[in-house]
């Protein structure tokens, strides 16, 4: 926003309308739009209709797009300028279970000590609503939008639906844009906003190892026949060294080294190992030697067993020799690792490690997402940084994210434009837990940051 006065007018509008914004957010949060619960299908739809209606009341052209799953809510400003930004969000929420652990009912939002409590407060209704209120402030008091804005709000994020992906694939032309904004992540800490400029990718598969037609009696056969559980333990153990390094040949070949700036940045953000372990609830941090905790999570690939099972796992003793054993393995990827290539390297390695007395059967890869890193010098990302700084009154930091956000892969992959991940939530919001909450201070600061991004 070049016009300081227009921005001040918009900020003033926000201050004057704090109570109304909050009342509207409460109304939005009271829809039990639980997408994973088929009993809530109508509630999800009513929420979509309410949201589209609200967007229409602000002067936007809005509509509810029916899909084979839950609807998408789409809205855009009427007078196009050409410079266009897509604001992504999701109006569906996690199931509130276990309901009995909520101190106040999950869909009867209440304000207490500067937080609004309710399912979806932080993930993601509160965050997407900040952008909606920013657009209102710009239209009603700030002299209009500087960019074209498309609101793209889905209702299947928490239930793994594919409707948005299909919609984007079919509407690439009408969704052509300069960049995308996603506010569905967390701030660095309570005072410091953050832009996540990278996401790890993922590839996951499952395999079964078979050594016999049926479980055998460990007395009659023990010592002379292979044990599938032991065989799978050997193979899995051979995937990683004692220092945490992945032993699969070529596994690290395509890992892009950190830039000088990134190395400095990670050093500045460094977390204390004991504090990290305490917060994660682990006895000790553990990872590849020679790398800091942030490097391990953000910038290094990771191979994990997600599950392993074989033989008798019930109560008491059963002296069988397991005929088969299985494991689920996932690998978090960093640029420039390719999911298919890494999956092939790891499964080939497992095949080579498999002794001749066992047969292997693979399933998958089941999930595959490319790792993504955006150049922090992209104009959109720098605009996001400036907007956060002005909205929050604090210098934002650049982080990466150890997980994948499938929608970011979809948006980036289909539209080919950078995605600005600027979250207004906190790790302590309890996004998928009882008593989810959202800081009202961050809500209003988020509105101001969005005003700066969309209006300036």
69 binds its own copies (CB under 8 A): no
Binding string, residues 164-203; x marks residues near its own copies by CB under 8 A? ------------------------------------x-x-
Binding residue for its own copies, selected from 135, 138, 196, 229, defined by CB under 8 A: 229
Minimum Å gap between C-beta 434 and its own copies is: 15
Q: Nearer Cβ to its own copies, position 261 or 309? A: 309
Q: Minimum CB separation from its own copies for residue 421, in Å?
A: 14
Choose which of 189, 359, 375, 441 interacts with its own copies (CB under 8 A). Answer: 359
CB of 211 to its own copies, least distance (A): 6
Residue 98 near its own copies by CB under 8 A: no
List Cα–Cα distances, 379 to 63, 376, 383, 385, 419, in angstroms. Answer: 30, 8, 6, 10, 11
Using the rule CB under 8 A, which residue among 122, 211, 324, 442 binds its own copies? 211
User: How far is it, in rounded angstroms, from Cα 11 to Cα 7?
Assistant: 6
Of 401-420, binders to its own copies (CB under 8 A) are: 401-404
How far apart CA 212 and CA 194 sit, in angstroms, is 54
Question: Which residues 6+ apart lie within 8 Å of 147 measured at CB?
Answer: 81, 83, 84, 85, 178, 454
For position 20 contacting its own copies by CB under 8 A, the verdict is no
Least Å from the CB of residue 413 to its own copies: 18
User: Does 430 sit near its own copies (CB under 8 A)?
Assistant: no
Spatial separation of the C-alpha atoms in residues 85 and 200, rounded to whole Å: 24
Q: Rounded to 5 degrees, what are φ and ψ at 131?
A: -65, -40
> Is 297 among the residues that bind its own copies (CB under 8 A)?
yes
Give min distance, CB of 217 to its own copies, in A.
7
| Minimum separation from the CB atom of position 286 to its own copies (A) | 4
The footprint of its own copies on residues 257-286 (CB under 8 A) is: 276-277, 280-286
Taking the C-alpha atoms of residue 271 and residue 275, their distance in angstroms, rounded to an integer, is 7
CB of 310 to its own copies, least distance (A): 5
- 312 near its own copies, judged by CB under 8 A: yes
Provide the minimum distance between the beta carbon of 114 and its own copies in the complex, in angstroms, as a whole number. 26
C-alpha to C-alpha distances, 150 to 77, 82, 153, 214, 276, nearest whole angstrom: 7, 12, 10, 59, 39
Are the beta carbons of 92 and 41 closer than 8 angstroms? no
Examine residue 322 and tell whether it contacts its own copies (CB under 8 A): yes
CA distance 32 to 24: 15
Taking the least distance from each CB to its own copies, the nearer of 82 and 219 is 219
Helix (H, G, I), strand (E, B) or coil at 63: strand
First to last CA, the chain: 3
Neighbour count for residue 304 (Cβ, 10 Å): 12
Q: Total binding residues for its own copies by CB under 8 A?
A: 85
């Amino acid at each position: 926003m070049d016009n300081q006065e227009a921005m001040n007018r918009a900020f003033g509008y926000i201050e004057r309308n704090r109570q109304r914004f909050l009342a509207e957010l409460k109304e939005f949060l009271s829809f039990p739009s639980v997408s994973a619960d088929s009993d809530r299908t109508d509630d999800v739809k009513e929420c979509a209709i309410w949201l589209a209606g609200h967007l229409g009341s602000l002067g936007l052209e809005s509509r509810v797009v029916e899909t084979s799953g839950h609807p998408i809510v789409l809205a855009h400003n009427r007078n196009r300028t050409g410079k266009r930004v897509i604001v992504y969000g999701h109006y569906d929420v996690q199931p509130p279970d276990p309901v009995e652990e909520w101190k106040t009912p999950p869909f009867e939002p209440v304000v207490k000590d500067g937080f609004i409590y309710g399912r979806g407060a932080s993930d993601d209704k509160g965050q997407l609503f900040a952008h909606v209120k920013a657009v209102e402030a710009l239209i009603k008091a700030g002299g209009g939008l500087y960019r074209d804005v498309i609101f793209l709000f889905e209702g299947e994020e928490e239930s793994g639906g594919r409707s948005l992906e299909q919609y984007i694939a079919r509407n690439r032309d009408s969704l052509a844009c300069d960049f995308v904004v996603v506010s569905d992540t967390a701030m660095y800490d309570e005072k410091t906003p953050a832009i996540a400029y990278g996401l790890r990718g993922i590839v996951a598969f499952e395999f079964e190892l078979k050594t016999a037609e049926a479980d055998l009696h460990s007395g009659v056969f023990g010592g002379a026949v292979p044990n599938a559980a032991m065989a799978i333990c050997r193979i899995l153990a051979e995937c990683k060294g004692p220092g945490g390094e992945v032993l699969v040949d070529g596994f690290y070949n395509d890992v892009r080294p950190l830039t000088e700036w990134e190395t400095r940045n990670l050093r500045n953000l460094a977390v204390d190992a004991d504090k990290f372990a305490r917060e994660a609830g682990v006895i000790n941090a553990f990872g590849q030697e020679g790398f800091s905790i942030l490097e391990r999570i953000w910038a290094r690939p990771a191979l994990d067993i997600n599950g392993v099972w074989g033989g008798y796992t019930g109560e008491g003793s059963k002296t069988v020799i397991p005929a088969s054993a299985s494991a689920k393995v996932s690998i978090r990827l960093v640029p420039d690792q390719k999911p298919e290539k890494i999956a092939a390297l790891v499964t080939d390695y497992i095949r080579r490690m498999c002794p001749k007395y066992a047969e292997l059967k693979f399933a998958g890869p089941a999930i595959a997402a490319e790792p993504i890193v955006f150049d922090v010098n992209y104009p959109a990302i720098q605009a996001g940084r400036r907007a956060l700084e002005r909205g929050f009154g604090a210098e934002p930091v650049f982080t990466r994210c150890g997980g994948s956000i499938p929608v970011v892969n979809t948006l980036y992959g289909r539209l080919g434009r950078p995605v600005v991940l600027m979250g207004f939530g906190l790790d302590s919001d309890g996004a998928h837990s009882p008593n989810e909450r959202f800081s009202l201070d961050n809500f209003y600061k988020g509105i101001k940051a969005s005003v700066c991004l969309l209006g300036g």
